[in-house]
């Protein structure tokens, strides 16, 4: 079995590590587009063009499934990719609004994501479908992906966002960008048990099993 993982930057490596753990017999191939990272502040047309170009090595490798390990690309481009490559199985990542809505007791959740994800039609539809009765806090994480790529994100950046979420009484925090997986432990430390952190690693593996009938 061959699993492809694409992300604009280093976020995909965190997803790939999880997949290698869950599917030890699989060959997990990763590609990124570090030249153009981050994608989160680019316009939709450019995101689609860059993503299409970047996944070509995975398409050429005959992957059984390609994980689009980028919430921004999933939100903006995955339907275009599925239409253009109908014989290729794709798995996208989206902010986990549905599970967060069932976990929240305060009725307030927070979504940490890029501007492109937050502005996307898919995310808007997800909120309308699963969070219509909730308050959704969207803190400014617009520079996080860039800072993580350059290893410049410090604890003060994290604390500022966490404090905003907790001050709003959010009890579930969604990591809506795979770059943020690299700082999951730091976010959990800052939360200090005051909110639940939700990210999609387990859901991705479940979807791989479903698509490939494992």
Catalytic residues: 70, 177
Residue 41 · residue 116 · CB < 8 Å: yes
Distance CA 3, CA 1 (A): 7
Helix (H, G, I), strand (E, B) or coil at 128: helix
Structure tokens at 97: 């609004």
- How many Cβ atoms are within 10 Å of 155's Cβ, its own excluded? 12
CA-wise closest residue to 117 among 208, 32, 11? 11
Which sign, positive or negative, has the C-alpha torsion 4, 17, 92, 31? negative
Q: Which two tokens stand for residue 99?
A: 């599970």
Tell me the C-alpha distance between 82 and 79, whole Å: 5
Specify the DSSP element, H or E, that contains 209: helix 201-211
3-state secondary structure of 151: coil
Q: How far is CA 1 from CA 32, 37, 186, in A?
A: 21, 29, 34
């Amino acid at each position: 079995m061959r699993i492809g993982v694409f992300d604009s930057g280093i976020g995909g490596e965190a997803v790939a590590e999880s997949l290698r753990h869950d599917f030890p017999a699989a060959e997990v191939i990763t590609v990124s587009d570090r030249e153009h990272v981050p994608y989160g502040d680019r316009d939709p047309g450019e995101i689609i063009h860059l993503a299409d170009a970047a996944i070509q090595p995975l398409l050429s490798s005959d992957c059984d499934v390609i994980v689009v390990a980028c919430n921004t690309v999933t939100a903006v481009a995955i339907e275009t990719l599925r239409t253009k490559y109908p014989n290729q199985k794709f798995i996208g990542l989206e902010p986990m609004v549905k599970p967060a809505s069932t976990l929240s007791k305060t009725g307030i959740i927070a979504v940490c994501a890029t501007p492109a994800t937050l502005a996307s039609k898919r995310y808007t539809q997800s909120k309308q479908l699963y969070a219509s009765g909730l308050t959704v806090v969207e803190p400014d994480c617009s520079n996080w992906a860039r800072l993580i790529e350059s290893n410049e994100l410090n604890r003060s950046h994290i604390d500022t966002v966490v404090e905003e979420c907790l001050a709003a009484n959010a009890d579930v925090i969604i990591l809506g960008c795979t770059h943020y997986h690299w700082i999951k432990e730091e976010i959990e430390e800052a939360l200090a048990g005051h909110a639940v952190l939700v990210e999609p690693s387990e859901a991705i593996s479940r979807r791989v099993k479903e698509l490939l009938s494992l």
